[in-house]
Amino acid sequence: MAVIRLQNRDFGIASMIRGIIVVGMSLIAHTMVLAGEPSQSLKEAADGLRSNAEDMVAHGGMGDAKAILHHCGEATRYAEALIKQLPTSHPGREEGVASLHDVVKQCTRVSEIGSHADPGVLLNPAIKARTAARASVKALGFTK
């Protein structure tokens, strides 16, 4: 009879441990799914950054300095929004934030040069900002 009690006790402990493991694994899986899916506002900011960076360089090729400044300002706004909204646990955060800071730096150069300059002069920092924007979107996992 002592053996039966011991087996029942072991079975109870084993089932409790199995239950704890199942609950723990489901919590981990749920957390991984949530961490893997960026919020909608982060996706929108990344899309805005990407499209404005591309438009900025496209307008530079057309010689429209005011459009370069406008899209560079918008790219800066989206980059700063991403920096503020990114959780510290986001994968690729360090590399992505470094690239986002580079976007802001290069767009600041564009605005310092101003709209009265030759669009070719604005194009160099604009291309660097676009490259940094592409790198940040890729590092943060927002690529399509």
Q: Give residue-wise pLDDT tens across range 21-62.
A: 755 555 554 444 444 455 888 999 999 999 999 999 998 888
The predicted pLDDT at position 62 comes to: 86
Q: Which residue has the higher pLDDT, 139 or 4?
A: 139
**pTM for the whole structure:** 0.71
Location of structure tokens 């723990």: 24
Domain positions in the chain are 1-37, 40-139
Give residues with Cβ within 8 angstroms of 118, minimum separation 6. 65
CATH 1.10.3720.10 fits domain 40-139: no
